[in-house]
Amino acid sequence: MAMRRDDCIRALTAHRGDAIVVATYQSAFDLMRIAPHPLNYLSVGAMGQASSHALGLALDRPDMRVIVLDGDGSLLMNLGTLVTIAGAAPANLVHFVCEKGYYEANGSHPLPGGGRVDFAGLAKAAGINDVSTFDTLPAFEASLPVLLTRPGPIFATLKIVPGDPSPQDYDVIHGVETRRRFKEALSAAAPA
């Protein structure tokens, strides 16, 4: 079974509170359409780096929850980040990987090992103890209140299909205004 990515993002953002959400490529475009927020960190153009960016934010801002919406192809480009996250052990980091088995951002080319890679198993082997996999929306929705509040690092694979298409607005994602809003929101959320 699989869930629609846009449905997962709707469920997740209903529980995000004031968390930073780091999203890459299609997840970033969906996040912009579904739940615009000044604390959305949109990392299009940094394939493979969403988890590394999120780790840096989590370490710098232990007072804030940091949620990563990663892609399976993106994570495969930077598997070492799982070991680094496990070693740093940020209690405020939740890493979701949207698994669909192909590179959606560049023409839907098949992913090496697509359908055979156990991303939660890779995270567990890297030293992240709190891992799970979801393939139905009701189970994912039911888990979110606890999943987003317990100590991390947490890793979850979301078995997804794309859902409704989102505008591919690279000007907004790469825009100075988007970066300014994020920087100001992050500064405003600084502890006293």
Tens digits of residue pLDDT in 148-163: 999 999 999 999 888 7
Q: For 24-108, where are the E strands, in sequence order?
A: 40-42, 66-71, 93-99, 102-103
Domain boundaries, the chain: 3-186
Task: Please report how many Cα atoms fall inside a 13 Å half-sphere around the Cα of residue 111, on the Cβ side.
Answer: 22
Strand (E) or helix (H) holding 146: helix 137-147
Write out the chain's pLDDT in tens, 192 residues. 789 989 999 999 999 999 999 998 888 888 888 999 999 998 756 677 899 999 999 999 999 999 999 988 889 889 999 999 999 999 999 999 998 855 666 666 666 776 778 999 999 999 999 999 999 999 999 999 999 999 999 999 999 888 777 767 777 777 888 888 888 988 888 776
Please check whether residue 15 is in contact with residue 144, taking contact to mean a CB–CB distance below 8 angstroms: yes
Looking at the domain 3-186, which fold is it?
A: Rossmann fold (3.40.50)
Give the 3-state secondary structure of residue 73: helix
The pLDDT score that the predictor gives to residue 192 is 62
- Rounded Cα distance between 90 and 55, Å, is 8
